Copies of this chain bind each other. A is one copy, B any other.
Amino acid sequence: MLDVVDLATEEDGLRPALAPVASVSRRQAVLAQIRRGIVVGALRPGDKLTELSLAADLQVSRATVREALGQLAQEGLVVSEPYRGLRVADLDTAALRDLASTRAALDDLAAGAILDDPTGRRLDAVRTAWAAFEATAFDDDPVVRHEGHLAFHRAVWSAAENVVLDQLWPVIQAHITIALAQDQAARHDPERSHRLHRDLVDALESGDEGRVRAAFREHTLTSVDELIALRSAHGTAPETEPAPHGRTTA
């Protein structure tokens, strides 16, 4: 199911000055592996994940796997049906639209905060993020591109210096991951992705609030519209919510 390679990969968004060394904890390595499996398509929406087999595949104890799965369930990357098992989450068309509108609202908030900053520090953070994005945008590894993409959007939220926004990010990230993974094979156009995101940065640089708002809104909404179109053409569109999104949470 999952390859047991490099269980020590790092997925930190930062760029340490000297040594990335290794993953701090085993749990994070498990998280990275499962996420990677979803991104590369080894784990498809609806696939069942059992603690025991994952523990065997990844060579860690069941407790560790269990903690990782709990975290992923809370993010929404997997859904847990109590006593029945966990499955990789799926998003129907309505959920994709929900994701888009929610992202739009929060991107607006973040962009507004970035423009509101008189010191320019927040805009600087965006510039740094953009540089990082450019470094990965044309990488051969789709996982690297995906993580670079997510890191950019996360950095934009982080640049807003809104602690609540930071805390909401993992949930949004999980949903973006699922949405993109489904059609990951179909649409990998690095040039286009690069241009789309540069538009965002350019808009922020211009300082024109209307333009920024429009740019983010279009970025999010059009990409989701394309995803919906793609999958309905592709014929693999779940029309209704496949699982009622049962949460372990409460």
Please list the residues of chain A having a beta carbon within 8 angstroms of any beta carbon in chain B.
Answer: 11-12, 24-25, 28, 31, 63, 66-67, 70-71, 74-76, 82, 94-95, 98-99, 101-102, 105-106, 108-109, 113, 162-168, 170-172, 175, 241, 245, 247, 249-250
Cα distance A109–B101 in the bound complex, in angstroms: 8
**A24 lies within 8 A of B164 (CB):** no
Cα distance A104–B245 in the bound complex, in angstroms: 25
CB contact between A164 and one of B74, B82, B98 (< 8 Å): that residue: B98
Cα distance A167–B94 in the bound complex, in angstroms: 15
> Number of copies of this chain in the oligomer?
2
Residues of B close to A250: CB separation below 8 A: 11-12, 28, 31, 170
Cα distance A75–B74 in the bound complex, in angstroms: 9
Q: A31-B250, A71-B70, A250-B11 are in contact. Are A165 and B102 (CB under 8 A)?
A: yes
Cα distance A75–B249 in the bound complex, in angstroms: 10
Cα distance A52–B167 in the bound complex, in angstroms: 27
Question: A100 → chain B, closest Cβ, in Å?
Answer: 9
Residues of B close to A101: CB separation below 8 A: 109, 113, 162
**B98 lies within 8 A of A105 (CB):** no
Q: Which of A167, A171, A175 has the most CB of B within 10 A?
A: A167
Residues of B close to A245: CB separation below 8 A: 163, 166-167
Residue ID in chain B nearest A107 by CB atoms: B105
Residue ID in chain B nearest A162 by CB atoms: B98
**A102 lies within 8 A of B95 (CB):** no
Residues of B close to A12: CB separation below 8 A: 250
Residue ID in chain B nearest A170 by CB atoms: B249
Cα distance A99–B110 in the bound complex, in angstroms: 13
CB contact between A168 and one of B94, B102, B113 (< 8 Å): that residue: B102
Cα distance A24–B28 in the bound complex, in angstroms: 29
Q: A24-B82, A109-B102, A163-B95 are in contact. Are A168 and B170 (CB under 8 A)?
A: no
Selected A-B contacts with CB under 8 Å, 8 pairs: A11-B250, A101-B109, A102-B168, A105-B105, A164-B171, A164-B175, A166-B245, A171-B171
